[in-house]
Amino acid sequence: MNHRFVRLAETNRARVRIVIDGQPVEALAGDTLMVAMLNNVRSLRESEFGDGRRAGFCLMGACQDCWVWTAHGTRLRACTTVVAEGMNIVTTQPEATWANLA
């Protein structure tokens, strides 16, 4: 099982291609980044403090649990960001080199 969310309807939408951890995957236009990701992988990020993977919590921009890193070192709040063609997300913590990417 390589995804977490399950699409129940509205599947007749244009495809959007993004990259997660170097792998090209497909989402649908109108998906939030979180939904796009969780229809392809089971989690969004690694918790900073050792308790494991996180997959968001509130879906309304309140809990701040769904912030993800892009491959370019920027940060996106997945549940309030609309998925866009070409988004390039990494679901693991970048190492200290994040500070050198500018």
Partner 1 sequence: MGQPRVIIIGAGPAGVRCAETLVAAGLRPIVVDENRRDGGQIYRRQPDNFTRPYDKLYGTEAERAQALHASFDALRGKVDYMPETLAWNIFGGKLHVVRDQRSRSLPYDALVICSGATDRLMPVKGWHYAGTYSLGAAQIALKAQACSIGRRVVFMGTGPLLYLVASQYVKAGADVAAVLDTSPLMRRLAALPKLLARPAVLRNGLALVSYLKRAGVQVLTGITPVEITGSAEDGVRGVVIRDNRGHERSFECDAVGMGYHLRPETQLADLARCTFRFDHETRQWLPEVGEDGRTSVPGVYLAGDGMKVLGADAAEIGGRLAALAVLKDFKFMVSDDELQGLRAEQAKMDRFRRGLAQAFPWPAQQAAALPDDAVVCRCEVVTAGDLRRTVREMGAQEANRAKALCRVGMGRCQGRYCGHAGAEIIAHAAGVPLEQVGRLRGQAPVKPLSMAVREEVE
Partner 2 sequence: MSALKADVIIVGGGIMGASSAFFLRQRGLSVILLERGLIGQQASGVNFGNTRRMGRPIEQLPLSNRSREIWLKFKELFGTDVELLLNGHLRAGFTPAHEERMVKYAEEAKSFGIGMQMLGTKTLHERFPYLAPEITTGCYAPHDGHANPRLAAPAIGRAAVRAGAQVFENTEMTSLEKDGGDFVATTADGRIFRAPVALVTAGAWGNRISTHFGEPVPMIAKSPQMCVTEPVPYAIGPTIGAIAETFEQVVYFRQVARGNIVIGGGGHEPADIDKRRAYVNPARTLYKLKSAPRVMPAFDHLHIIRVWGGIEGYMDDSRPAMGPSARVPGLFYAFGFSGEGFQLGPGVGEVMAELIATGATSTPIECYHIGRFATPVANAA
Binding of partner 2 at residue 96 (CB under 8 A)? Answer: yes
Task: Please identify which residue in 18, 25, 39, 78 interacts with partner 1, judged by CB under 8 A.
Answer: 39
Task: Please identify which residue in 73, 81, 88, 90 interacts with partner 2, judged by CB under 8 A.
Answer: 73
Q: What is the DSSP letter of 4?
A: S
Q: To the nearest whole angstrom, how small is the minimum distance from the Cβ of residue 46 to partner 1? A: 9
Rounded Cα gap, residues 38 and 100, in angstroms? 29
List contacts with partner 1 (CB under 8 A): 1, 4-14, 29-32, 35, 38-39, 42-43, 47, 49-65, 67, 77, 80, 82
